[in-house]
Structure 1
Amino acid sequence: MKNLLALLLCLCTLHVAHGQQTTPLAPTPPMGWMTWNYFADNIHEKDIREMADAMVASGMVEAGYTYIFIDDGWQGGRDNRNNMIPDPAKFPSGMKALADYVHSKGMKLGIYSDAAPLTCAGYTASLGFEEQDAKTFASWGIDYLKYDYCHAPKDSATAVERYTKMGDALRKSGREIVYGVCEWGQLKPWHWAAEAGGQLWRTTYDVRDKWKNLSSDENAEGIIDILDINAGLHAYAGPGRWNDADMLVVGLYGKPGPSGDMGGLGMNDTEYQSQMSLWSIMASPLIATNDVRNMNGATRRILLNKEVIAVNQDPLGKQAERKIHDGTWDVFVKPLQNGDVAIAILNRSDKPRNYTLNWAELGLDGSYALRDLWEHKGAGTGKRWKGRVQAHETKLFRLSKK
């Protein structure tokens, strides 16, 4: 009898362990706020604490924005044992104390490094110190690593090798740390980043605060440019495997800085709302970068729309498929866990237009009840939708079968 009980206990232990191993990190797209677009590398622990307080007070944490990500510029070099240290002027209390503060607010802390000797902004990075840095991050209580690819070779084999080395180091660090592969999509990380240990991967160059890139510089991407790359990658997304379309620029209004470079002179609230709609239905991480301490009403309304966020965070984990793409109209379809369907209708043109969409065109049979997720009300019942869409506006509906 004693042997039988021991065997049953062993089997239960193995079952629990197996369940833990098969539950992915980042089962839904990460949500939070990142320092880069607002502060660039001019960051201080006081800023992080203030943003954490503001995220709680504003309702962002309650809405699901649980991460604060410290981007490039926090590093202070290495100590006499080659351990990475934060800049003592910027982070005088140390990173562990800051992580403890963020955790006390019910949030998680992310940090940044690069798969080369130096980061994009020229600070100390992690090449050759992957295991040591991963253990350091774990000892601080870090929950997420954004791993960039500046100053690194352009070939795919090197990228896979370097990202895999850090992915392995994070797994051995003793702490669950979500791993964001920030290679900018040039080497098609959707094919290899998950196997390298990543839970999400950037699919494009950095987003700028503008609707569309009108220059010849491919690193000056606006919302539409990123959309057109990310839209075709739906087959690679799922729980713990996300196509990262880069940060939200909602509420920046052309602020000088990284997102304001290369023609990023700002957008109107209709366009910001479109980014929120499109990033949500594409299951991209929702990473705000505005000044959360001073948000106007429009920015609050866009970032805190819980019905829109629910589409992004739906546990089925499907990225929407673009079913219509004709130069004027884009229509995306995303199945949801409870059997509902989310539909996004984007007017890409520069003037308002009327549109009629039959659900049968999208492969949806029968009649549906529509809910407008921005108006927070019903939008009719039937086999089609007909309405007017403003220039650069995205209508977002939730359809329930009747």
Structure 2
Amino acid sequence: MKKQIFSLILMVLCLSSGSVEAQTKLADGSLLAPTPPMGWMTWNYFADKFNETDIREMADAMVSSGMVKAGYNYLFIDDGWQGGRDNRNNIIPDPKKFPSGIKALADYVHSKGLKLGIYSDAAPLTCGGYTASLNFEEQDAKTFASWGIDYLKYDYCGAPDDMEIAKTRYKKMADALRNSGRDIVLGICEWGGRKPWLWGGQVGGQLWRTTGDVRDKWRSIKPVKTLKDLDTEGAGILDIVDFSQDYASYAGPGHWNDMDMLVVGLYGKKGPSGDFGGVGCTDAEYQSQMSLWSIMNSPLAASNDVRNMNAETKRILLNDEVIAINQDALGKQAVCKIKNDTWSVFVKPLANGDYAIAIVNRSETTQKSKINFAELGLNETYEIKDLWAHKVIGKGKKWSGMVQRHETKMFRLKKI
């Protein structure tokens, strides 16, 4: 009898805990999004002005540039693809932009070794004023599945501020996707105001945005204290890092904190990422974004023109050793161990027992860093590999060196 009571209590605790993995396990026991999704997204480069030819060209370029080989295996179509609903209320693509339909496009993208993502919103209309999915969740999920969609970015423009309503709406779409007959990753995009890291996994999401949209800049000019401040000033790379660093405990295999798109290689392009002071970044700042998004386990969604990348952009986006930190099977998000006006230092444990560390120069001038690994909770002697220089630079219990303005040094430490 006691054993039965204990078993019942244990079962109730498991059900009430809202286990993230329980919501995302597939029929074969695997997880949706076991590592952070990687790919390329339309929004920052095209906004809503794109068509099926553009998407096919980007798919081709992702292969020829080496992005697919490096692990960027999603092509995400953002807002602007919709053409309303037909006489049976099925959502349809814009016939001028997609004369061949989404199914044919998905087949082409899949033939390139890529998966296809699409976009909708938990309201009647999307952020761009296009047809969205509120009250059509089951129907739209089945449509997406029939097209061969692999990922849904689900936005929240035009929806109420209330957290409970958000949870209800996202769960409804998550359930619809699970019932669609196809494994489709759900990206929750409500910009962090309703604290989705607390509930996103429990309602069936695999990732959730932590802030408003990223802009192509290092940081906000004016100090920001709240997410609303960040929306007003425009979120720079460092701003998003600062707002997202406290949520490490909520990330892991199948449930990720999404810090929004990579702006690497945009160089101040006019458009969504150019709003709110998005004047462009230096290559050192772009390298920092790649480093920090990787060590903090954010999805890596490039948004530059992959058909025309310069050597520096390729060097940053295709760094296999940095990508390996992001895709590490252990799935632990880095923890910020040091933060002051000059430095932020992050530490991430890796599956094989190594550690990754990132040292960010937040200041406006080149600085000399002196890091005793014991200050970071790392008490052994380590081989130190510089992941941007691609070489072992020393062995020991500390590191010192010069770090440029807004640069991030990224090392892999192997115990010896």
Cα distance in 1 for residues equivalent to 2:37 and 2:136:
26
Deviation (angstroms), 1:196: 1.0
Match of 2:214 in 1: 207
Candidates 199, 207, 218, aligned match of 2:230: 218
Match of 1:349 in 2: 363
Cα distance in 1 for residues equivalent to 2:194 and 2:214:
18
Match of 1:96 in 2: 103
Match of 2:406 in 1: 392
Cα distance in 2 for residues equivalent to 1:252 and 1:60:
16
Deviation (angstroms), 1:218: 2.1
Match of 1:118 in 2: 125
Match of 2:188 in 1: 181
**Aligned partner letter, 1:218:** L
Question: Percent of counterpart pairs with the same letter?
Answer: 71
**Retained in 1: the 8 A contact 2:268–2:274?**
yes
Report SS of the residue matched to 1:294: coil
Match of 1:8 in 2: none
Candidates 142, 147, 153, aligned match of 2:154: 147
Cα distance in 1 for residues equivalent to 2:94 and 2:44:
20
Match of 2:58 in 1: 51
Deviation (angstroms), 1:21: 5.3
Match of 2:6 in 1: none
Deviation (angstroms), 1:391: 0.4
TM-score by length of 1: 0.95
Deviation (angstroms), 1:342: 0.3
Deviation (angstroms), 1:22: 3.5
Once the two structures are superposed, the pairs formed by residues 241-260 of structure 1 within 5 Å of their partners are 241-260=255-274
Cα distance in 2 for residues equivalent to 1:159 and 1:310:
34
Deviation (angstroms), 1:355: 1.1
**Aligned partner letter, 1:370:** I
Cα distance in 2 for residues equivalent to 1:366 and 1:53:
46
1:43-89 CA distance string (max 9 Å, x none): 10000000000000000000000000000000000000000000000
Cα distance in 1 for residues equivalent to 2:125 and 2:217:
29
Is 1:270 the counterpart of 2:284? The answer is yes
Report SS of the residue matched to 2:307: helix
Cα distance in 1 for residues equivalent to 2:352 and 2:27:
25
Match of 1:109 in 2: 116
Cα distance in 2 for residues equivalent to 1:211 and 1:132:
41
**Retained in 1: the 8 A contact 2:26–2:32?**
no
Cα distance in 1 for residues equivalent to 2:54 and 2:174:
29
Report SS of the residue matched to 2:371: strand
**Aligned partner letter, 1:36:** W
Candidates 279, 301, 313, aligned match of 1:287: 301
Q: Note closer, same or farther for the CA distance 1:167–1:19 as it changes in structure 2 (3 Å cut).
A: closer
Report SS of the residue matched to 1:379: strand
**Aligned partner letter, 1:297:** A
**Aligned partner letter, 1:69:** F
Paired positions, count? 385
Q: Note closer, same or farther for the CA distance 1:101–1:19 as it changes in structure 2 (3 Å cut).
A: closer
**Aligned partner letter, 1:202:** R
Cα distance in 2 for residues equivalent to 1:379 and 1:231:
28
Deviation (angstroms), 1:327: 1.7
Candidates 59, 64, 71, aligned match of 1:64: 71
Candidates 81, 86, 104, aligned match of 1:74: 81
> What runs of 5+ residues in structure 2 fail to find an aligned partner?
1-24
Q: Which runs of 4+ in 1 moved over 4 A?
A: none
Deviation (angstroms), 1:20: 3.5
Deviation (angstroms), 1:19: 7.6
Report SS of the residue matched to 1:293: coil
**Aligned partner letter, 2:75:** I
What RMSD, in angstroms, separates the aligned Cα atoms of the two structures?
A: 0.9
Is 1:331 the counterpart of 2:338? The answer is no
Report SS of the residue matched to 2:267: coil
1:288-326 CA distance string (max 9 Å, x none): 000000000000000000000000000100100000011
Report SS of the residue matched to 1:397: strand
Cα distance in 2 for residues equivalent to 1:20 and 1:269:
43
TM-score by length of 2: 0.92
> What runs of 5+ residues in structure 1 fail to find an aligned partner?
1-17
